[in-house]
Structure 1
């Protein structure tokens, strides 16, 4: 299928624009250390970064929502992350060049993430993404991805039809959301779930 030129490009945040896994891993490993456990290997935690607290807790502790101690761990993890969310997080290689090229060609770009605004809002400027034309967080709309609502909201804010936008993400839920929204969708194989 040939892609038509986009009037805007929307990106997932974690695992697509930015490598936030180091700070997510540090936040979950703080919980392991407090509980007398050795830190979990980064190689185990990195693939779970795209799934947020749920994925990190499952990777580091083997617990799922509803399990004993899960909610306590979730709160602790989110508190740890909020206090140090841009220590080692950085843009992936080539992203700055890509965003500069979009700007130079008058193609607006935005961020559509499932990360809550509590984390997205301070993180975006700290890692150099403050020029986004729109930022849609996981709690901006009633439904997060893979529902198309966040992508539709981004297109609305850009005053564009969804089919005029491309969406780039690293997780299956990104591909599903982009397709459900009627956008041309591109898998970011450099991200956490490169097998989408």
Structure 2
């Protein structure tokens, strides 16, 4: 019997490909205010710490820009309407979630994406498999702080020793470490394997089905 009872997933870059919609919403807000837009590659390396941090990295001057709050608001309004235009699960993800669910594992999403979008995407794509979806709010520290993971564990009724985390970045590796659980780093996300190794990653899934094999290992 596996020692794990629950699997906690990052969302963007782990379960869902979301870069195009993040880029489009960021560029909508930037261009509306006469600011140069960002390439997909630039967006890829600015995500991971929540959408406010993404926009801080895209807007000249960041939080010191007097228009920051207006531009950020425009981004959020656009993204709320268009967060699913080009997004979707990576191939093999729905199947591995279903298999984990069928084998009795509790499943959660913990994301730095704001709460409304996290819950909307979780409901749209994973309503039959994901038990809990938690995004960014003003009331709880975002990853890599352990607070959102702790909240997910509380709702699921599990402790850290019974959980394993799955993500695609240094933020996720540090989140798992801060939460007292191991991290499966995925090969298909927004950071390379080498970048994840340099961040301390030691367990790797080359394809989604590997997640089940790692979690369900009886050793």
Q: What range describes the TM-score normalised by the shorter chain of this pair?
A: 0.7 to 0.9
Tell me, yes or no, if structure 1 residue 143 matches structure 2 residue 156.
Answer: no
Change (3 A) 1:36 1:173: closer
Distance 1:64 1:38 in 2: 14
Instruction: Give the C-alpha shift of residue 40 in structure 1.
Output: 2.8
Instruction: Give the C-alpha shift of residue 37 in structure 1.
Output: 5.8
1:1-196 paired onto structure 2 within 5 Å: 5-36=3-34, 39-126=37-124, 128-131=125-128, 132-139=130-137, 142-194=140-192, 195-196=195-196
Instruction: Give the C-alpha shift of residue 111 in structure 1.
Output: 0.5
Instruction: Give the C-alpha shift of residue 87 in structure 1.
Output: 1.0
State whether residues 17 and 88 of structure 2, in contact with CA within 8 Å, keep that contact through their aligned partners in structure 1: yes
1:58-88 CA-partner distances (Å, limit 9, x unpaired): 5544442223322221111111111111111
State whether residues 45 and 59 of structure 1, in contact with CA within 8 Å, keep that contact through their aligned partners in structure 2: no
1:8-40 CA-partner distances (Å, limit 9, x unpaired): 111011111111111111101112333456643
Residue correspondences, number? 192
Distance 1:58 1:143 in 2: 18
Instruction: Give the C-alpha shift of residue 170 in structure 1.
Output: 1.8
Q: What is the aligned-residue RMSD (CA, Å)? A: 2.2
Instruction: Give the C-alpha shift of residue 166 in structure 1.
Output: 0.3
**TM-score scaled by structure 1?**
0.86
Instruction: Give the C-alpha shift of residue 98 in structure 1.
Output: 1.2
Instruction: Give the C-alpha shift of residue 56 in structure 1.
Output: 3.5
Partner SS state of residue 63, structure 2? coil
Gaps (5+ residues) in structure 1? none
Instruction: Give the C-alpha shift of residue 146 in structure 1.
Output: 1.3
State whether residues 44 and 59 of structure 1, in contact with CA within 8 Å, keep that contact through their aligned partners in structure 2: no
**TM-score scaled by structure 2?**
0.78
Distance 1:63 1:95 in 2: 38
Gaps (5+ residues) in structure 2? 197-219
State whether residues 59 and 65 of structure 2, in contact with CA within 8 Å, keep that contact through their aligned partners in structure 1: no
